[in-house]
Amino acid sequence: MKMRTGRTGLTSPLIKDVLNTMKIGFKSFWFLAFTLLMVAVQPALAAEDQGLLLEARKGEKTVYLLGSVHLADESFYPLRKDIKAAYDRSDALVVEADILKAESDITLQQQIMTESLYPPGDNLKNHISPDIYQQLQEWLSQRNIPEPMFNRQRPAIAMITLSMVEMQARGLNPQLGIDRHFLLQAHKSNKPVLELESVIEQLRMLNSLENPDLYLKQTLEQLAEMDSFVPRMKQAWKQGSTDELYQLVIAEGLEENPEFAPLYDALFFKRNRTMAKTIQQLSGDHQSLFVIVGAGHLVGDRSVTKLLQKQGFQINQI
């Protein structure tokens, strides 16, 4: 999860970045986010890239599951024809949270700012160690970001901001994310849009994470590894490799940082159980659904995919 530092007004980039990146998880807090957000490909190959698209069938019901990349660039489009066809065949679009709806709702934006920022008189410096805050100040200086534009963010939002800034510095854009791409289509054509969670639920979950000092420290340390990590992630997503995505998003991170187990449980496994239950319920009211979630939710033994399989769905990768 990542996000660009923004102003504190209701139309600031911070709002849009929070909305665009409340989706995923990591090899540390940032790596999970980056893992699921990152993609840039060559234009000539975009339509041939696999992506992660699964089909879940149960009786006459069909659920398409697309592993989302929340930041991309123009070269990522057009998407593979099978992905577009699955969307077109579906009765409704299902997303983790409808970020477009949130962007147009002033009341909701005010709630988002309340959850994202400390109230006046309080700031991030009061909630993390002096050493970590000094490292953060050094990063802000390197990126020429004024400290007052950043220091009211809560720890989880700060972690998102760090990684968002670094990804955008490398040409990636949340406005071109896969989920946003389909949300724009759905709103334009009046296709039903259903939510698995809400933006506020996601923010409160992030703010409830314990030991933010540790996660912010790891985020700062691992930003330097982005350039070496990107090629593996690009290749895994382009090949639609569930095994490699699982290793990158979950397995390697837990092996290297076993103390992060509670984080993975909160960001992935607990949410996977809720998502799978909600998808099953929604499928009862629709013949076909097109579900977009962060790719990390679709891989591994505790994924949404495996949970749906246990509920009687037959899973095939398209």
Strands 61-68 and 53-58: antiparallel
What pLDDT is stored for residue 11 in this prediction?
Answer: 28
Tell whether the model's pLDDT for residue 8 goes beyond 50: no
Instruction: At 62, list the tokens.
Output: 């069909």
Give domain status of residue 4, yes or no: no
Tell whether the model's pLDDT for residue 225 goes beyond 90: no
What pLDDT is stored for residue 198 in this prediction?
Answer: 86
**What is the pLDDT averaged over residues 274-295?**
96
Minimum mean pLDDT range among 34-38, 79-83, 123-127, 309-313 = 34-38
Q: What does pTM read for this prediction? A: 0.82
What pLDDT is stored for residue 48 in this prediction?
Answer: 59
Give domain status of residue 133, yes or no: yes
Q: What domain range is 239 assigned to?
A: 13-317
What pLDDT is stored for residue 10 in this prediction?
Answer: 27
> Which of residues 146 and 172 earns the better pLDDT score?
146
Q: Which residues contact 170 (CB under 8 A, 6 or more apart)?
A: 226, 230
Q: Which residues contact 92 (CB under 8 A, 6 or more apart)?
A: 191, 192, 193, 194, 282, 286, 289, 290
What pLDDT is stored for residue 230 in this prediction?
Answer: 66
Domain count, the chain: 1
Percent with pLDDT over 90 in the chain = 43
What pLDDT is stored for residue 304 in this prediction?
Answer: 98
- How distant is the alpha carbon of residue 201 from its chain centre? 14
Euclidean distance between CA atoms 211 and 127, whole angstroms? 10
Query: Burial level of 38, CB count in 10 A (0-12/13-18/19+)?
Result: buried
Give domain status of residue 258, yes or no: yes
Give domain status of residue 90, yes or no: yes
Give domain status of residue 5, yes or no: no
**Which one-letter amino acid corresponds to residue 97?**
A
Strands 193-195 and 92-95: parallel
Q: Which residues contact 27 (CB under 8 A, 6 or more apart)?
A: 34, 35, 222, 229, 248, 249, 252, 253, 256, 257
Cβ of 274: how many Cβ atoms within 10 Å?
A: 14
Tell whether the model's pLDDT for residue 234 goes beyond 90: no
What pLDDT is stored for residue 13 in this prediction?
Answer: 38
Q: Hey, which residues does 158 pair with through a beta bridge?
A: none
The pLDDT tens digits for 41-84 are: 333 345 556 789 999 999 999 999 999 877 777 777 888 899 99
Give domain status of residue 6, yes or no: no
Give the residue among 258, 78, 82, 229 at the shortest CA–CA distance from 163. Answer: 229
Tell whether the model's pLDDT for residue 288 goes beyond 90: yes
Query: Burial level of 276, CB count in 10 A (0-12/13-18/19+)?
Result: buried
**What is the pLDDT averaged over residues 4-13?**
31
The pLDDT tens digits for 161-208 are: 888 888 788 777 888 888 899 999 999 999 999 999 988 888 888 888
Minimum mean pLDDT range among 33-37, 56-60, 160-164, 219-223 = 33-37
Give domain status of residue 7, yes or no: no
Give domain status of residue 114, yes or no: yes
